[in-house]
Amino acid sequence: MINHFAEDDLVAVLTTQPLDRTLDYRAPEGGCALGAFVQVPLGPRQVLGVVWGPGRGDFDLAKIRPVTRVLNVAPMRDEMRDFLTRAGAYTLTPLPAMLRLATRAPGLTDPPSMRVVLRLGDGEPARMTEARTRVLDALAESGDAAVTMRELCEAAGTSSSVVKGLIKAGAVREETAPRDQPFARLDAARAGKPLTADQTAAAAALGRGIEAGAYGTTLLRGVTGSGKTEVYLEAVAACLAKGRQALVLLPEIALTAGFLTRVEARFGARPAEWHHGVTMTERRRIWKMVGQGGAELVVGARSALFLPFRDLGLIVVDEEHDSSYKQEEGVHYNARDMAVLRASLTGAQVVLASATPSLESWANAEAGKYQRLDLESRFGGAVLPQMHAIDMRHEALEAGRWISPTLRNAVNDRLQKGEQALLFLNRRGYAPVTICRACGEKIGCEQCDAAMVEHRFLKRLVCHQCGESRPMPEICPSCQAEGRLAPVGPGVERLTEEAAEVFPEARIATLSSDLFGTARALKERIEAIADGGADLIIGTQLVAKGHNFPLLTLVGVIDADLGLQGADLRAAERSFQLMRQVSGRAGRADRPGTALMQTHQPDHPVIRAILGGKEEEFWQAEADSRRSIGMPPFGRLAGLVLSGPEASLPMRIGADLARNDAALRAIGAQVFGPAPAPIARVRGRHRVRLLVKAPKGAPIQEAIARWLGPLTLPKDVRLSVDIDPQSFL
């Protein structure tokens, strides 16, 4: 394969524009590399693209225009082109959309932006003061790193006038330097915490993979608090020591803050942080530095997987079972699976860490495709909480109340001992449904087929589908009756209200993602609570994800049956994971914990598996049941959603597709539907679902591509295809 094109050579350029092919251009003066990021004319505009290969030569040669400019960033590597191509083929996504994922940093086409930085000069100031000494010391300490005026003043604790005096005297000199600077080096040689025998063995096994420098995936399973993070940080250290880059994916932005502090303590500097809360300029800096090796470790959300790493040696997917790794909009991809794909192309190691792995990963380990490492005990001898059911059929509870007498006694007991308790309810807002007691009307969203959820702190009704909100009405929108609207069912806000009555002395903290404006505010609140700033925590699934509450000894699950409702393929698995994770919050450090689950069906197999703590048995049973019906991971699924302003047209198109299914039948696949989606209308669009089910190993993507090939959609109908769907709504 040619990897450099001379001036005037024909090159094929893939742009981020929605075209179904590459376009030919002439290489600019000085030529360009294969993979070069370029700016090219397209009609009247200039667009971003990548030199994808030699020109196709199927376009009028006289009309071919030259590449405008080669961008001053590292060319896309072969393996990245390969990754985008394969990830696109897997998810049935056109390449331009894949390229957009890989260039999600603003200003890439801007000329490099410069700024003034300060360095030590040769001059001697006539007079030294304490402040001047501090400035010169701070500069000396910063070494090669470029320091701005603001940073220098901050480091030296002086005003800018002191620095300006030194510039005048020649002791400090000004220089222009590119704004995008490398990240501080991480010190991989620093010793981590001394590991336990279990942890040492796991770290050594991961170390061998890193040492081999080849692809491999490991499932690192261990209960919450067993030290999985400690162990994979050892793998990060080994990877950095080899001079390769590492990526740690986390499911929740709120978790990154605590993790960054931990990395800093371990390696002496902060890593690059990538998620949608990071500023635009910082994103551009990370994107560029990752490509030229100026960022060794990136900690981020799923989209960090598409950064142009120069030499990626390790990808950690923490809480690998978390459903937020699946992107459900635009390009439907699962970052966990794409991490494995990317690693296999770059000879990198993948670590999938979880206390409660996905059935997919569990089965892959079982089949020998992944190495499996288990950390059996919690660090420091802390034990997993005891778990018990509270049988709600035998509890005396008034209507509109959710805390059973048994649970109340248990909480009171903790409060008296000065310990913390947590009440878990995975429902944001005050009440999931609001009805009118006069006419029976249930208040729904005008745009969606969903109930409006009362958020009493905000005094608004909010649609959890589209985010639309309006002030809480005084009168029924349907019958105009006044003061007859009533909440039905509990949300965390309503539970907080009840708890305040039942436990009047307790300091209560409610944790729900919608109650915090920023990730920082949330982090600070969580830290304050962990330090003992509250007695009773009331939370949604936000609290289930990896936060440490060392004083917590009781977890009460308000409705353990909640996740078991609905026909979701993964209902059992999700419920199991969530309950295990939530109860894992209790009894860290030296205090044993208890988890109490309020349930109406204590004999349900999933509830029994959770209580019994027999995880292998649960997975085995779940695997058997999925295998028997050919469901993932023992069969393959693809979900299709057709949507339009009217329900009839998507339905008709869906029915046509279902009738003409020869391409699917050819690989032994079946199609189900069309049927109105469980949420039949979102943002004013009617949604119709089809489900394709194929045997494991069948080429489902190719078959679907052939099946959909002849389809042309009317202008206002949209189709989205979701390979390996997680959501069936």
Among Zn ion, ligand ADP, none, what does residue 463 contact (CB within 5–8 Å per kind)? Zn ion
Instruction: Let me know how long the chain is.
Output: 729
Could you tell me which residues come within 8 angstroms of residue 721 by beta carbon, excluding any fewer than 6 positions away?
92, 332, 638, 639, 640, 704, 708
Query: Which of 411/579 has CB closer to ligand ADP?
Result: 579
Among Zn ion, ligand ADP, none, what does residue 230 contact (CB within 5–8 Å per kind)? ligand ADP
Pair 466, 729: CB distance under 8 Å: no
Tokens encoding 383? 């034990």
Of the candidates 6, 156, 140, the residue with the CA atom closest to the CA atom of residue 67: 6
With binding defined as CB under 6 A, does residue 195 bind ligand ADP?
yes
Among ligand ADP, Zn ion, none, what does residue 448 contact (CB within 5–8 Å per kind)? Zn ion
Q: Give least dist CB 533 to ligand ADP, A.
A: 18
With binding defined as CB under 6 A, does residue 615 bind ligand ADP?
no
Query: Which of 91/224 has CB closer to ligand ADP?
Result: 224
Q: Give least dist CB 265 to ligand ADP, A.
A: 9
Q: Give least dist CB 383 to ligand ADP, A.
A: 14
Q: Which stretch binds ligand ADP (CB under 6 A): 220-228, 413-421, 434-442, 537-545?
A: 220-228
Query: Which of 51/350 has CB closer to ligand ADP?
Result: 350
Pair 238, 245: CB distance under 8 Å: no
CB atoms within 10 A of CB 113: 11
Query: Which of 204/466 has CB closer to Zn ion?
Result: 466
Q: What is the sign, positive or negative, of the torsion defined by CA atoms of 498, 501, 502, 507? A: positive
Among Zn ion, ligand ADP, none, what does residue 28 contact (CB within 5–8 Å per kind)? none
With binding defined as CB under 6 A, does residue 502 bind ligand ADP?
no
Query: Per-residue b/e over 12-32, b at no fewer than 16 CB within 10 Å?
Result: bbbbbbeeeebbbbbbbeebb
With binding defined as CB under 6 A, does residue 639 bind ligand ADP?
no
Q: Which stretch binds ligand ADP (CB under 6 A): 64-72, 181-189, 218-226, 634-642?
A: 218-226
Site string for ligand ADP, 372-411 (x = CB under 6 A): -------x--------------------------------
Question: Which ranges of 107-252 would DSSP assign to H, the alpha helix?
Answer: 130-142, 149-156, 160-168, 197-212, 228-241
With binding defined as CB under 6 A, does residue 224 bind ligand ADP?
yes
Q: Give least dist CB 658 to ligand ADP, A.
A: 46
Query: Which of 247/448 has CB closer to Zn ion?
Result: 448
When binding is defined by CB under 6 A, the residue of 49, 121, 216, 222 that contacts ligand ADP is: 222
Q: Which stretch binds ligand ADP (CB under 6 A): 130-138, 189-197, 446-454, 596-604?
A: 189-197
Q: What is the sign, positive or negative, of the torsion defined by CA atoms of 30, 32, 36, 40? A: positive
**d(Cα 234, Cα 263) in Å, to the nearest integer?**
11
Of the candidates 361, 262, 365, 239, the residue with the CA atom closest to the CA atom of residue 311: 239
Q: Give backbone dihedrals phi and psi of 443, rounded to 5 degrees, phi first.
A: -75, 120
**d(Cα 689, Cα 213) in Å, to the nearest integer?**
44
Tokens encoding 561? 């049956």
List the beta strands (DSSP E) in 255-370.
272-274, 297-300, 312-318, 349-354
With binding defined as CB under 6 A, does residue 225 bind ligand ADP?
yes
Q: Give least dist CB 358 to ligand ADP, A.
A: 17
Among Zn ion, ligand ADP, none, what does residue 195 contact (CB within 5–8 Å per kind)? ligand ADP
Determine if the peptide bond prior to 125 is cis (ω within 30°). Answer: no
Query: Which of 146/682 has CB closer to Zn ion?
Result: 682
Q: Which stretch binds ligand ADP (CB under 6 A): 164-172, 182-190, 227-235, 517-525?
A: 227-235
Query: Which of 311/441 has CB closer to Zn ion?
Result: 441
Q: Give least dist CB 361 to ligand ADP, A.
A: 16
Among ligand ADP, Zn ion, none, what does residue 193 contact (CB within 5–8 Å per kind)? ligand ADP
Among Zn ion, ligand ADP, none, what does residue 361 contact (CB within 5–8 Å per kind)? none
CA 493 to chain CA centroid, nearest Å? 26
Among Zn ion, ligand ADP, none, what does residue 468 contact (CB within 5–8 Å per kind)? Zn ion
Helix (H, G, I), strand (E, B) or coil at 512: coil
Of the candidates 234, 312, 324, 337, the residue with the CA atom closest to the CA atom of residue 276: 324
Give the CB-side neighbour count of residue 585, counting CA atoms within 13 A. 33
Query: Which of 228/321 has CB closer to ligand ADP?
Result: 228
Site for ligand ADP in 549-578 (CB under 6 A): none
Number of H helices, E strands in the chain: 20, 31
Q: Which residues bind Zn ion (CB under 5 A)?
A: 445, 447-448, 463, 465-466, 468
**d(Cα 108, Cα 268) in Å, to the nearest integer?**
30
Q: Residue 436 corresponds to which amino acid?
A: C
Q: Give least dist CB 470 to Zn ion, A.
A: 11
Query: Which of 163/365 has CB closer to ligand ADP?
Result: 365
Query: Which of 199/510 has CB closer to ligand ADP?
Result: 199
Number of residues lying near ligand ADP (CB under 6 A): 14
Of the candidates 301, 306, 293, 260, the residue with the CA atom closest to the CA atom of residue 105: 306
When binding is defined by CB under 6 A, the residue of 56, 193, 369, 665 that contacts ligand ADP is: 193
Which residues share a beta bridge with 319?
Answer: none
Query: Which of 55/227 has CB closer to ligand ADP?
Result: 227
With binding defined as CB under 6 A, does residue 199 bind ligand ADP?
yes
Q: Give least dist CB 322 to Zn ion, A.
A: 25
Distances (CA, A) of 51 to 19, 118, 612: 15, 38, 57
Pair 281, 287: CB distance under 8 Å: no
Q: Which stretch binds ligand ADP (CB under 6 A): 217-225, 268-276, 365-373, 677-685?
A: 217-225
Residue ranges that bind ligand ADP, judged by CB under 6 A: 193-196, 199, 222, 224-230, 379
